[in-house]
Structure 1
Amino acid sequence: MALTQQLARVTLEYLGLCRETALSAVDGDPHWDPPDGDTLDLDWAIWELLTFYRCMRPGDRSISVIERSIEGDTRDEIGFLDHLSVYDGFGDPPALVTPTAVAEVADELAMLDIEPLLRTLPEYRTAGGFAGSSGDPHTYLVEHFAQLRNFYETAAARGLAVVVWTD
């Protein structure tokens, strides 16, 4: 099974309900089930974008912005989501980006321009980047970055938190 980057837009109230459910359940199951329209599967695209940045533009400010968008800020507040019904236990448990932080991330993502990086694709591929990719990595990265940006923009506009995890 392939690992993919997952995100969910949720209210703090929903997280509170999941916390209460987990605390009262014998097995700790939070009954995590965010609406399909508020979830996003980024496949491995953003991880590859980060690898690409680190190789071609180490130290670029974009790296920390993108990392924050998929790594979150804290796990403490949502430790109850560290459950097999939420994620398979590979890697770190889910992390939270609070509504205030979501607005910050959305603003930072809106300011990023990945096109200058994408112009280095031929050099990156020559160096072995995207070795297993059979499609057009430019299109793949642009589409998934746009999805990430739009996801955060919508979450910020709606005042929602974002939960991130690998599954």
Structure 2
Amino acid sequence: MAVTQQLARVSLRYLEQCREAARTSPFGDPQWDPPEDDTMDLSWGVWELLGLCRHTQPDAGQIPILRRAINGDSDCGVSFLDHPAVYDGYGPPPTLLTPAAVGHVAGELAAMDIGPLLEAIPAYREAGGFSGSIAEHRTYLVDHFTLLREFYRAAGKREMAVVTWID
């Protein structure tokens, strides 16, 4: 089983329902089941984009926003999601970005130009950053960054929170 980055767009009301379900369940089960259209498996694409950024532009302002988009801000009251029904326990428990934070992240991602970063792929590859075709790798990173940006754009527009975790 691959380890991948997971995201879910949820309303604060839905989170409260899950919190209450966990509180009343004898096993702490939050009944976590967000709609499939509001979940995303980003695979490892954004982690690789972060690796590329750290290797080639260690002081880039893009690093904190990419980290925040996939790591959330903190527990922010979602410790009830630290349950096997939500994630497999690999890595830290799920974290949250509030609707206000999601709006900020969405704006930062919308303004981000990863073109110059992608120009560093040949040097990154030579340093052992990845194997395979440069064109394929570039396409993979662009596609996954676009998915992340669109996911946050939709969440921001709908004033939703985002829960992040690794599974």
Q: Which runs of 5+ in 1 are unaligned?
A: none
Cα drift, residue 128 of structure 1: 0.8
The equivalent of 1:127 in structure 2 is 127
Shift of 1:35: 0.2
Partner of 1:55: 55
The aligned counterpart of 1:112 is 112
Following TM superposition, by how much is the alpha carbon of 1:154 offset from its aligned partner in structure 2, in angstroms?
0.2
Q: 4+ residue runs of structure 1 moved beyond 4 angstroms?
A: none
> How many angstroms apart in 1 are the aligned matches of 2:52 and 2:122?
12
The one-letter code matched in structure 2 to 1:72 is G
1:79-116 per-position Cα deviation (integer Å, ceiling 9, x unaligned):
00000000000100000000000000000001110010
TM-score of the aligned structures, taking structure 1 as reference length: 0.97
Which residue does the alignment assign to 1:66? 66
Give me the whole-angstrom Cα distance separating, in 1, the residues matched to 2:32 and 2:73: 20
Is 1:136 equivalent to 2:136 in the alignment? yes
Tell me the TM-score normalised to structure 2 length: 0.97
Give % identity: 54
Cα separation, 1, equivalents of 2:101 and 2:49: 22
Q: Distance in 2 between matches of 1:129 and 1:79?
A: 34
- Superposed displacement of residue 74, structure 1: 1.8
AA aligned to 1:54 is R
Instruction: Give, in whole Å, the separation in 1 of the partners of 2:5 and 2:107.
Output: 21
> How far apart, CA to CA, are the structure 1 residues paired with 2:76 and 2:62?
26
The answer to whether residue 25 in structure 2 is matched with residue 22 in structure 1 is no
Aligned length: 166
**Structure 2: unaligned runs, 5 residues or longer:** none
Task: Kindly provide the amino acid, as one letter, of the partner of residue 110 in structure 1.
Answer: A
Cα separation, 2, equivalents of 1:59 and 1:77: 31
Residue 93 of structure 2 aligns to a residue whose secondary structure is coil
The root-mean-square deviation of aligned C-alpha atoms, in Å, is 1.0
- 1:59 deviates by 1.1
The aligned counterpart of 1:8 is 8
Any idea what SS the aligned residue of 1:16 has?
A: helix
Q: CA deviation at 1:76?
A: 3.6
Q: Secondary structure at the match of 1:162?
A: strand
Residue 78 of structure 2: SS of its match in structure 1? helix
Corresponding position of 2:91: 91
**Local SS of the residue matching 2:74:** coil
SS in 1 for 2:113: coil
SS of residue in 2 equivalent to 1:77: coil
CA distance in 2, matches of 1:61, 1:148: 17
CA distance in 1: counterparts of 2:116 and 2:80, whole angstroms: 41
Q: Aligned partner of 1:142: which letter?
A: V
